[in-house]
C-alpha cells in the first residue's frame, strides 16, 4: 500500500450530532468536513491534522440503523505515554462514552474499552504499536 493513502472508517448512526460531539471531545478530533442531504444522507468527517485516517459518521434520512452489530466492532488507539492515556480515558468519560469490560479479554490487559451510544467500542491501549 502506498503511504500517501488515507484510510476512512465509515459508520452509520441514528445520533449524528451527539456521536460527532462525543468523538471530538473524547478523542480530540476536529470536524474536517460535513455534508447535508447528499442523496438522502447527512454526515460528518472527523480526524486529526496530519493523520492518515478519518472517521465518517452518516445518517440516512427516514432510516434507522440501530446499534453496533457486535461488541467486537472496535477502533483501537495505541497511546504509549501513561499520562496521555489516562487523560484520554478521562476525556472519553467526560464526552459521554461509558467504560465497559472488553469482549476480548486481551484488550483489558493494557487497555480500557469505551462504548459510544450506538454500541460501537473504542479501545485505548497503553502501549506502543508493535
**Distance from C-alpha of 49 to C-alpha of 84, rounded to nearest angstrom:** 18
**Distance from C-alpha of 85 to C-alpha of 79, rounded to nearest angstrom:** 6
- Give the predicted TM-score (pTM) of the model: 0.92
Q: How far is CA 89 from the centre of its chain?
A: 13
pLDDT given at position 29: 97
Measured N-to-C along each axis, helices 82-94 and 16-27 cross at an angle, to the nearest 10 degrees, of: 150
What confidence tens digit (pLDDT) does each residue in 54-74 have?
A: 999 999 999 999 999 999 999
Residue extents of the structural domains in the chain: 7-60, 74-125
pLDDT given at position 6: 87
CATH of domain 7-60: 3.10.180.10
Greater pLDDT, 1 or 6 = 6
Show the cell assigned to 46: 472527523
| pLDDT value at 107 more than 80 | yes
Show the cell assigned to 53: 485516517
Given a contact cutoff of 8 angstroms between Cβ atoms, the answer to whether 111 and 99 are in contact is: no
- Mean local confidence (pLDDT), 47-58: 93
**Distance from C-alpha of 78 to C-alpha of 130, rounded to nearest angstrom:** 10
Q: Mean pLDDT for the chain?
A: 95
| pLDDT value at 1 more than 60 | no
The secondary structure of residue 82, as a DSSP letter, is H
CATH superfamily of 74-125: 2,3-Dihydroxybiphenyl 1,2-Dioxygenase, domain 1 (3.10.180.10)
Amino acid at each position: 500500500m502506498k503511504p500517501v493513502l488515507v484510510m476512512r472508517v465509515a459508520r452509520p448512526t441514528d445520533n449524528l450530532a451527539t456521536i460527532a460531539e462525543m468523538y471530538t471531545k473524547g478523542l480530540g478530533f476536529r470536524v474536517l468536513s460535513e455534508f447535508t442531504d447528499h442523496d438522502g444522507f447527512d454526515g460528518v468527517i472527523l480526524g486529526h491534522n496530519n493523520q492518515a485516517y478519518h472517521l465518517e459518521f452518516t445518517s440516512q434520512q427516514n432510516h434507522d440503523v440501530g446499534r453496533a452489530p457486535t461488541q467486537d466492532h472496535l477502533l483501537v488507539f495505541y497511546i504509549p505515554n501513561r499520562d496521555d492515556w489516562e487523560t484520554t480515558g478521562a476525556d472519553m468519560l467526560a464526552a459521554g462514552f461509558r467504560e465497559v469490560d472488553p469482549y476480548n479479554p486481551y484488550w483489558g490487559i493494557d487497555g480500557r474499552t469505551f462504548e459510544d451510544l450506538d454500541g460501537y467500542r473504542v479501545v485505548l491501549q497503553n502501549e506502543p504499536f508493535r
